Structure 1
């Protein structure tokens, strides 16, 4: 005899699979392929065949699709590891948690709010459920996840300063400190860059977390604040620099100020793999298939 399956009309069906996924993975030794997990859930709960073979409007397996959605929220919450391609695996956090339906709902609403903020979109809970019913969770994540620059612009001023300090450490600077002092001429921190065992110099840095343009005057003010205190300065912004600001930073006869705009900042985070994960993307090579195309 099979257990009663969830109602087909219940849009929040995927919320029921949070804990069953964790249970299935524990039984599978901590990891498993997606279909293995779905099959184990179906076996554990004795779901009837008519429920398991139901399709979405796009022809996808509704049960497995909903299990994949539940898995996606567990990844976002840190209960499953997303780093292994094609394999679902428990994190230590996931091994030691029990999620009831109310917990699942809270997780769902938390991440809905995060993604709505990223997309600047407002949808009802019912609309989101319907959207998920026919969508691939991994594609949805790629489409809704904010870009790195947007995330950096949403950090607190203090948080952005700490991120810049971390980037400098990853780039070879030592003794990096965020001063956090006001009325210091715009100096947000300092560090030491060692060129070789014999030569090193102090560097001051300023962090500007906004989407606007840094002006010539702001570069000049920063240089004046660093005179007599360090050999070099760096201004890091999530915005851009005006052409006059760039000229001022490189003006002859004055200490050079290095400028890092939002575009360069993103490249540096990517190179250091700070807060980002490398992802391989395959493009179709049409020249390969050309001789066989109709």
Structure 2
């Protein structure tokens, strides 16, 4: 979502809507994603036909650099429900949650797992989480139903999806006076998996930048 201008990243794994993101429709978001995908595929095809190795593509091109994200999301969407739930549990453990337990899809009113987050030694939050392997958008009714399933059993909830959330869903998740529900969409999920090295390996590449030092050559111009 950041790459089409509807949200920005003020901090690590922290996302917020831009002015465009607060006004753009879901259909316009989908259209921008499709257009971005077409541009990426066209560039890859052009590089392939011209003999350029796409693995060595310039890192300044966001579309090329982040092709791993689309590949990862495709892998997650095609995972089994149980595998995706256990991956979510592993992510929460890596992010600092304790007592994480995957309860499974069979029951518990839509709760796929639970855990406890202790940001300090003074307080803790009992947290329920739900997993959605979606290609599309998760709506506000999903947020409401999930909140209803954990009220009285958890302090807050997390919905993790491979897709996105509608604007109404985000409003519902942050509704004043209601138990908070944190939303992790596909892009944020990829970033978190990368950050914690869960199923994603990052290789650092050094780019050599060579410039001409004119001052060095000038010394020879004045030599006798």
Cα deviations by residue, 1:130-186 (Å, 9 ceiling, x for unpaired): xxxx998x77xx9x9872222111211110000000000000001100101424321
Structure 2: distance between partners of 1:285 and 1:263: 31
Query: Where does residue 34 of structure 2 map in the other structure?
Result: none
Map of 1:266 onto structure 2: 190
Hey, what does 1:242 align to over in structure 2?
A: 166
Greater percentage in strand: 2
Higher relative contact order (CA 8 A, sep 6+): 2
**Residues matched between the structures, number:** 155
Partner of 1:226: 150
Q: Secondary structure at the match of 1:147?
A: helix
Q: Any gaps of 5 or more consecutive residues in structure 1?
A: 1-133
Asked if residue 257 in structure 1 is aligned to residue 162 in structure 2, the reply is no
Q: Which residue of 1 aligns with 2:30?
A: none
How many Å separate the matches in 2 of 1:290 and 1:255? 62
CA deviations on 1:104-128 (whole Å, 9 max, x unpaired) are xxxxxxxxxxxxxxxxxxxxxxxxx
Name the SS of the counterpart of 1:258 in structure 2: strand
CA RMSD of aligned residues (A): 2.8
1:175-194 matches, cutoff 5 A: 175-194=99-118
State TM-score, norm by structure 1: 0.48
Residues 238 and 285 of structure 1, relative CA distance in 2, 3 Å threshold: same
Sort the Cα spacing of 1:285 and 1:184 in 2 relative to 1 into closer, same or farther, 3 A: same
TM-score normalised over the length of structure 2 = 0.62
Tell me the CA shift for residue 201 of structure 1: 2.0
Q: Separation in 2 of the partners of 1:267 and 1:289?
A: 38
The structure with more radius of gyration = 1
Residue 280 (structure 1) aligns with: 204
* Residue 289 to residue 187, structure 1, CA distance change in 2 (3 Å): farther
